[in-house]
């Protein structure tokens, strides 16, 4: 057994090399942007690990599903059918309204609304960095998604794609402390920006003047500014307003519409679908 380090590189040297490399990595990661090839391939490298770690959850999930009784399934099926009937009725209206809206916009010489491509993604149940809010989804560059695409669920906005690998990618939730979303108040169209404060059920409106017309219960929808989130998706509902004149801005807090702590299926919104609209 060779326990003497004399014949190999000394520990101190190894530590210094490791520290220097780590610091280079930290700064390199912090001060470069975008989905570079290096980042994508590094992210791809750990995808198998993520899929493997997700296996136990999937097994439990399948087990739980196979324990459903026939009655439960039938009940659920009936409920879903009713829901679909109601929604398809609304959809018929939507097609008509959409066409009308398009014609009215054409009359006003306004630009046509863009429609988005959509892709359904499933959240992989893996543990993420406890200091930030993010989830992993089972889609990547082979499904044609890129960094910065908006992600929503059935209720409202969830976040945006932060890192994209070949088969998995990371969604930065809008409650993360580094995330901000341009929104407007649905009631009176006032534009503002809402940012995460690191709590899963709370967001804060930034730089709100005391005189701003905002009330508890106001719905905030994406404003479409900034180019990441398409216009009109619900983001949050105002829950708490503190107009303390001693502070430079009013403190306005809102609760996300999407239930961010129990997301499972998500929709990734594509960016460029102008051609499809102009073709119809």
Partner 1 sequence: MIKRSYFLVALSIFFALVMALMPLPISAEPFRPDWVLLVLMYWSLAVPHRVNIGWAWITGLVIDLAMGSPLGVNSLTYSVCIYITVSNFQKIRNFSIWQQAVLIGLFLTLYHLLQFWLNHFLLDIYFSPHYLWPAFTGMLCWPWIFLLLRKYRRQFRIR
Roughly how many angstroms between the first and final C-alpha of the chain, as a whole number?
A: 76
Q: How far is the CB of 46 from partner 1 (least distance, A)?
A: 4
Q: How far is the CB of 193 from partner 1 (least distance, A)?
A: 17
For partner 1, the closer of residues 94 and 177 by Cβ is 177
> Cα–Cα distance between 163 and 271 in angstroms, integer?
17
Q: How far is the CB of 151 from partner 1 (least distance, A)?
A: 15
Enumerate the H helices of 209-252 as residue ranges.
Answer: none
For partner 1, the closer of residues 21 and 247 by Cβ is 21
Contact assessment for residue 212 and residue 200, using Cβ atoms and an 8 Å cutoff = no
For partner 1, the closer of residues 123 and 236 by Cβ is 123
For partner 1, the closer of residues 8 and 84 by Cβ is 8
> Cα–Cα distance between 163 and 43 in angstroms, integer?
8
Q: Could you give the C-alpha distances from 104 to 26, 94, 112, 275, in angstroms and in order?
A: 52, 15, 10, 20
- Structure token digits, residue 257: 């519409």
Query: What does the binding site for partner 1 look like in residue numbers (CB under 8 A)?
Result: 1-3, 5, 8, 11, 14-15, 18-19, 21-26, 28-30, 42-43, 45-46, 49-50, 52-53, 56-57, 125-132, 134, 136, 162-163, 170, 177-178, 198, 261
Q: How far is the CB of 250 from partner 1 (least distance, A)?
A: 22
Contact assessment for residue 166 and residue 138, using Cβ atoms and an 8 Å cutoff = no
Q: How far is the CB of 21 from partner 1 (least distance, A)?
A: 7
């Amino acid at each position: 057994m060779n326990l003497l380090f004399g014949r190999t590189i000394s520990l101190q040297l190894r530590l210094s090399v490791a520290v220097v490399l780590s610091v280079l990595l930290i700064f390199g990661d912090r001060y470069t942007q975008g989905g570079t090839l290096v980042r994508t391939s590094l992210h791809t490298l750990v995808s198998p690990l993520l899929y493997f770690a997700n296996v136990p959850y999937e097994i439990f999930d399948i087990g739980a599903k196979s324990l459903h009784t026939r009655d439960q399934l039938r009940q659920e099926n009936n409920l879903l059918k009713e829901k679909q009937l109601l929604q398809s009725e609304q959809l018929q209206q939507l097609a008509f309204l959409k066409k009308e809206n398009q014609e009215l916009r054409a009359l006003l010489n306004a630009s046509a609304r863009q429609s988005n491509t959509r892709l359904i993604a499933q959240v992989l149940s893996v543990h993420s960095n406890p200091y930030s809010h993010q989830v992993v989804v089972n889609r990547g560059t082979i499904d044609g998604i890129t960094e910065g695409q908006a992600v929503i669920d059935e209720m409202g906005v969830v976040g945006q794609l932060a890192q994209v690998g070949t088969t998995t990618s990371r969604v930065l939730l809008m409650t993360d402390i580094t995330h901000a979303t341009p929104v407007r108040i649905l009631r009176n169209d006032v534009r503002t920006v809402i940012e995460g404060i690191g709590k899963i059920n709370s967001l804060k409106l930034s730089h709100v003047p005391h005189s701003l017309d905002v009330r508890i219960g106001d719905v905030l929808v994406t404003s479409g500014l900034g180019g990441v989130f398409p216009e009109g998706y619900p983001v949050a509902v105002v829950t708490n307003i503190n107009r303390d004149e001693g502070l430079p801005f009013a403190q306005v807090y809102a609760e996300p519409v999407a239930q961010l702590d129990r997301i499972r299926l998500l929709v990734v919104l594509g960016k460029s679908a102008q051609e499809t609209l102009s073709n119809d």
